[in-house]
Amino acid sequence: MKKTAKTIFDLRYDRLISDLVEIRHNKGFTQRSFAAETGYSTCFIGRTETKERRLDIIETIDYMRHLGVCDTEIVNKIAELVNTPPCSGMKTRRKRENG
């Protein structure tokens, strides 16, 4: 059975998080000010943006709403991700051959 990479390493997830960071910056929020505005901890935001923590779909929607993204844009973003083929950003290691 083929093993799949964790979604946190998928390039689609990387693009989503990059977009969320860009939106946050464009809205003039620092991680700290966004945390204060939303009630999220700065640790939650930092770990999310550095991809140490993965957002589930409900958290993603809530996060986008806190950033002021309208529901139509949220649905469009999710549809864009769904319609993009999976692609892993993980580099695979080659097995060393004995010899």
Q: Which helix (H) or strand (E) holds 58?
A: helix 57-66
Answer yes or no: is 1 within a domain. Answer: no
Answer yes or no: is 96 within a domain. Answer: no
- Residue 6, pLDDT score: 61
Look at the chain and report how many structural domains it folds into. 1
Average pLDDT of each block of 10 consecutive residues along the chain (99 residues)? 62 92 97 96 97 94 96 94 74 43
Contact 15, 85 (CB under 8 A): no
- Residue 37, pLDDT score: 94
- Residue 72, pLDDT score: 96
Positive or negative: CA dihedral 54, 56, 61, 63:
negative
Answer yes or no: is 90 within a domain. Answer: no
CATH code of the domain containing 16: 1.10.260.40
- Residue 86, pLDDT score: 77
- Residue 58, pLDDT score: 95
Answer yes or no: is 95 within a domain. Answer: no
Answer yes or no: is 92 within a domain. Answer: no
- Residue 69, pLDDT score: 96
Residue span of the structural domain in which 75 resides: 7-82
Answer yes or no: is 88 within a domain. Answer: no
Contact 60, 16 (CB under 8 A): yes
Answer yes or no: is 58 within a domain. Answer: yes
Distance CA 85, CA 79 (A): 12
Contact 66, 77 (CB under 8 A): no
Model pTM score: 0.77
Answer yes or no: is 24 within a domain. Answer: yes
Distance CA 56, CA 5 (A): 16
